[in-house]
Chains A and B, each alone.
Chain A
Amino acid sequence: QSVLTQPPSVSGAPGQRVTISCTGSSSNIGGGYDAHWYQRLPGTAPKLLIYGNTNRPSGVPDRFSGSKSGTSASLAITGLQAEDEADYYCQSYDTRLSGSVFGGGTKLTVL
């Protein structure tokens, strides 16, 4: 059971918008700690998509955006493309564990 809860799977058709939630608690996201998001394409290492809740590293398309509200963070992907099919993970810091924590991951299927 992950400290950060993500839906196991989401899906959408090409061109659509999907969101992936990451629900935490007062000891992590709700306590003011930032959420970060990663994309793991099959057979590759995770890639940083969003850091500090809303910031995109250079090279990440603006189709990817992040937000945070209360104890949750969200990743939105607009204009869904076949190559977006991957696993997505959120990450934050947890004061009870005194360390980084990852969500359980969400598998995005592009229909």
Chain B
Amino acid sequence: RKEVEQDPGPFNVPEGATVAFNCTYSNSASQSFFWYRQDCRKEPKLLMSVYSSGNEDGRFTAQLNRASQYISLLIRDSKLSDSATYLCVLQKANSGYALNFGKGTSLLVTP
């Protein structure tokens, strides 16, 4: 089983829809969690960190459930510009600087 698993999608949603991505991880020692957004030919960019208490940034809400070992990203009122790949990223404790990436979930928002 891979350490970080995501549904690759693609998720095709109309503008204005709400869409949710989940990510599961297998290593309970994982310490830090992130969602990255990545467009083809562009470097992945940090979308948001994920905290146990849940956190929100505009239309984006991230949540972490350590007991169930999953992370979620909710996007409300989807925009065309939200079309991208969303990467679930974990950092294990005592792993130095290494990040574990999920393979990404592809989102396509259509008019």
A and B bind: no
Residues of A bordering B, CB below 8 Å: none
Residues of B bordering A, CB below 8 Å: none
